[in-house]
């Protein structure tokens, strides 16, 4: 047996190696134009980037991607808006809302602030109203609308799913945290009851694509497991009583890094996928989701999301 200290050293070394690979010799991203716009509602205004794939957008799906912290405009520009390549290939409209330094000095979405969590209030309402405005403007498919993100963006996507389960067919909360997690004491209701309570009469299981790196020292791995446990609980309370407690399938892939994938299915409905990459750390994981190096992982995320159509109350899959 490998001593625990040596095993930890080995894992950290592998994580560092993966990060180095990702941060060097990254292929250039697919050059696709994005347009910078502004959206405002009664709560406030946010800039956002928009990419519409070639052809008539009518009836296409919509993906809203929420960035993590630290200078998001430079972050997205430096990585070439990598998801636009997938938007062209798979045929969906893509929006990147941008947090302001005035709202958070580190440009984080304020997912942890109770003022931003209820339906119709705070930052979540700006993102949700932007989503609805884009659906109306381009005649998009209301049954295939998705939101996801990384770190603070991942955590905000869980807020949006709880407040707007009738808007988003599925979510991708990556390296985020459970709904209403108290970041000071790392405590949250893991039963899922708080999510279903927030959903109210609109309550439905909202399928999720989860990702939590094993070596992440910022969003720790147990936080990701707690996030999954909370949503599995919410699925049961919101209508899918047969939601499994253990994966219905486990697979392993190596592109772009070694990753274990757990699936949680009920019948033909894929409720959740939980991805556990072995390295890199938090920043490297964010780069995987926003650079050409992580194209295979981004493809996997979008394939999961696009397979879902919104269900009615108490329904996960439409």
Residues with catalytic annotation?
Answer: 151
What is the DSSP pairing of strand 208-211 with strand 269-277? parallel
* Rounded Cα distance, 276 and 220, in Å: 12
- At CB < 8 A and 24+ separation, what contacts does 37-44 make? 39/97, 39/126, 39/129, 39/130, 39/133, 40/126, 41/125, 41/126, 41/129, 41/130, 43/121, 43/122, 43/123, 43/125, 43/126, 44/103, 44/123, 44/126
Write out the two tokens for 230. 């909370």
Write out the two tokens for 151. 């770190």
∠72-75-77 over CA atoms, to 5°? 110
Beta bridge partners of 95: 50, 64
Shortest CA distance to 160 belongs to which of 151, 170, 279?
A: 170
Shortest CA distance to 97 belongs to which of 141, 43, 144?
A: 43
What is the gyration radius of the CA atoms in the chain, in angstroms? Answer: 18
Write out the two tokens for 297. 């992982």
* Rounded Cα distance, 85 and 290, in Å: 11
């Amino acid at each position: 047996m490998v001593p625990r200290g040596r095993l930890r050293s080995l894992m950290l070394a592998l994580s560092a190696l993966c990060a180095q690979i990702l941060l060097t010799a990254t292929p250039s991203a697919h050059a696709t134009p994005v347009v910078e716009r502004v959206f405002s509602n009664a709560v406030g205004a946010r800039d956002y980037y928009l990419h519409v794939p070639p052809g008539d957008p009518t009836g296409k799906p919509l993906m809203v991607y929420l960035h993590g912290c630290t200078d998001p405009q430079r972050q997205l520009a430096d990585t070439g808006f990598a998801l636009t390549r997938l938007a062209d290939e798979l045929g969906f409209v893509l929006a990147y809302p941008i947090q302001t330094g005035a709202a958070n000095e580190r440009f984080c979405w304020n997912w942890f602030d109770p003022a931003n969590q209820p339906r119709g209030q705070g930052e979540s309402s700006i993102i949700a109203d932007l989503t609805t405005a884009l659906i109306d403007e381009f005649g998009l498919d209301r049954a295939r609308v998705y939101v996801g993100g990384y770190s603070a963006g991942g955590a905000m996507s869980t807020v949006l799913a709880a407040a707007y389960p009738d808007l988003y067919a599925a979510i991708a909360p990556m390296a985020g945290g459970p709904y209403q997690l108290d970041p000071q004491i790392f405590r949250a209701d893991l039963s899922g009851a708080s999510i279903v309570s927030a959903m109210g009469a609109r309550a439905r299981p909202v399928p999720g694509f989860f990702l939590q790196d094993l070596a992440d020292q910022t969003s720790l791995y147990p936080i990701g497991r707690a996030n999954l446990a909370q949503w599995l609980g919410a699925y049961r309370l919101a209508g899918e009583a047969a939601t499994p407690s253990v994966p219905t399938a486990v697979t392993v892939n190596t592109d772009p890094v070694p990753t274990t994938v757990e699936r949680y299915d009920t019948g033909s409905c894929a409720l959740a996928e939980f991805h556990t990459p072995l390295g890199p750390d938090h920043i490297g994981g964010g780069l995987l989701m926003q650079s050409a190096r992580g194209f295979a992982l981004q493809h996997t995320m979008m394939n999961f999301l696009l397979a879902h159509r919104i269900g009615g109350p108490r329904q996960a899959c439409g």
